[in-house]
Amino acid sequence: MADLTYREALRRALDDELARDPDVFLMGEEIGRFEGSYKVTAGLWQKYGPERVRETPISEEGFVGAGIGAAMMGLRPVVEIMTINFILVAMDQIINHAAKIRYMFGGAVGVPMVIRTPGGAGAQLTAQHSQSLEAWFAGCPGMKVVAPASVADAYGMMKTAIRDDDPVLFCENLVMYNVTGTMPDDPDYTVPLGRAAVVREGRDLTLVAHSYTVQRALRVADTMSRDGIEIEVVDLRSLRPLDAETVAESVRKTSRALIAEEGWSTYGVGAELAARIHRLCFDDLDAPVERVGGAEVPMPYSKPLELAALPLESKIEAAARGLLAESGIA
C-alpha cells in the first residue's frame, strides 16, 4: 500500500494500460511534450513516443471524432478533453456518434474509447470554466459515465474504462488531482463500472455524492458524528450505469436520503436519484428526498460569490440537519 495523489493514480493507470495493450493510445491537447495542462500524462510521451501519446490541435470535435474512428477500427483511444467545459464543441461526436454507433450498426462495431476530462469549480475560473456537466452525458443511452472520488477508484476505474468496449466519459476533478490516498499494491487491481460504494456507514441519513463532493460529504459526516448523528455516505462512482440499488439498500436502513452534487440540481444527478429512491424505497422514507447542488447561476468570479454558489460542507450539513429535523431528530 502506497500513498499517491489522484493525479498520479490516473497516470499509473494510463501507463499500465499503455504497457499492457499496444492498441491503447492517448490523444489530446498538450498532453505530450507539455505533459498535459494538469500533468496527468507527465512522462508518458517520453516513455511511449508521439505515436501513442499524440498531440492534437485545439479541435475537440476533430480529435474526438478521430478517436471514434480509431476505436471503430479496433484501437482503444484515451482522449483527453482539457476540461469538461471544452467538451461542448464535441457534443455531436459524443452523443450522435460514439453513443449510438453500436446500436446503429446492429452491434457489428463498437466504440471502445475513453474520454477523460476534469470538471469542477472553486478556483475562480468563472462561468465558462467551472462547470459539472456530467449529468448531461449520463442521460444519454449508449454512454457510460463515471466519476471516481478516491485514489484507488481513479486507478481501478480508469483501467476498467479503457478495457470496456463502449464509450466511457471519465470525469476527473480539478480539486481532486492533489488529493492523496492509498493505492492498492495489486497491479491487477480494477474497479467495476456501475457499482456504487458505501464509503462510510451510518444509521441516520444516507448522503449520496459523486466525484469531489464525496470528500465534502465525508467531512460533513465527520462533523455531524460529533453530535452523535451517523451519516452513511454512498459514493456513486458511476453515473451511468447508475447503481440505484446500493443507494436504495442504504436508504432502507436510514429512511432518509440527501443527494449532493456540484452540478445544478435541476435535471441533475439528484433529480434522477430522487425519482429512483421514491420508487424503490417509498415505504421506507421518513422524510422527502432532499438535494443540494450548485446555485442555479453561471458561476460568479468573485470569491465570496463563488463560495456562495458552491455546495460547500455548510450547505450539505444544513440540508442534512433539516431532513433530520423533519424526522424529529436533532
Whole-angstrom Cα distance, residue 314 to residue 330?
A: 16
Q: Is residue 260 a contact partner of residue 214, using CB atoms and an 8 Å limit?
A: no
Total chain residues near another protein (CB under 8 A): 11
Whole-angstrom Cα distance, residue 88 to residue 303?
A: 26
Q: Are strands 197-200 and 231-235 parallel, antiparallel or unpaired?
A: antiparallel
Show the site string, 310-329: x = touches another protein by CB under 8 A, - = not: ----------------xxxx
Show the site string, 196-225: x = touches another protein by CB under 8 A, - = not: ------------------------------
Catalytic residue positions, numbered: 60, 129
Between 117 and 254, CB nearer to another protein: 254
Measured from the Cβ of residue 109, the count of other Cβ atoms closer than 10 Å reads 13
Closest distance to another protein from the beta carbon of 239 (Å): 27
Nearest in space to 77 (alpha carbons), one of 50, 113, 44: 113
Closest distance to another protein from the beta carbon of 324 (Å): 10
Whole-angstrom Cα distance, residue 83 to residue 68?
A: 19
Residue indicated by cell numbers 490516473: 10
Q: Is residue 171 a contact partner of residue 214, using CB atoms and an 8 Å limit?
A: no
Between 223 and 327, CB nearer to another protein: 327
Between 188 and 283, CB nearer to another protein: 283
DSSP state of 28: E
Closest distance to another protein from the beta carbon of 228 (Å): 14
> Is residue 227 within the footprint of another protein (CB under 8 A)?
no
**What DSSP string runs through 139-186?**
TSTT-EEE---SHHHHHHHHHHHHH-SS-EEEEEETTTTT-EEEEPS-
Residues 164-203 that bind another protein (CB under 8 A): none
Number of H helices, E strands in the chain: 12, 14
Whole-angstrom Cα distance, residue 323 to residue 288?
A: 8
Whole-angstrom Cα distance, residue 312 to residue 121?
A: 11
Between 89 and 329, CB nearer to another protein: 329
- Report the chain's terminal Cα–Cα distance, integer Å: 39
Between 285 and 305, CB nearer to another protein: 285
Closest distance to another protein from the beta carbon of 283 (Å): 5
Show the site string, 255-294: x = touches another protein by CB under 8 A, - = not: x--------------------------xxxxxx-------
Between 15 and 230, CB nearer to another protein: 230
Closest distance to another protein from the beta carbon of 36 (Å): 49
Closest distance to another protein from the beta carbon of 286 (Å): 4
Q: Would you tell me which residues interact with another protein (CB under 8 A)?
A: 255, 282-287, 326-329
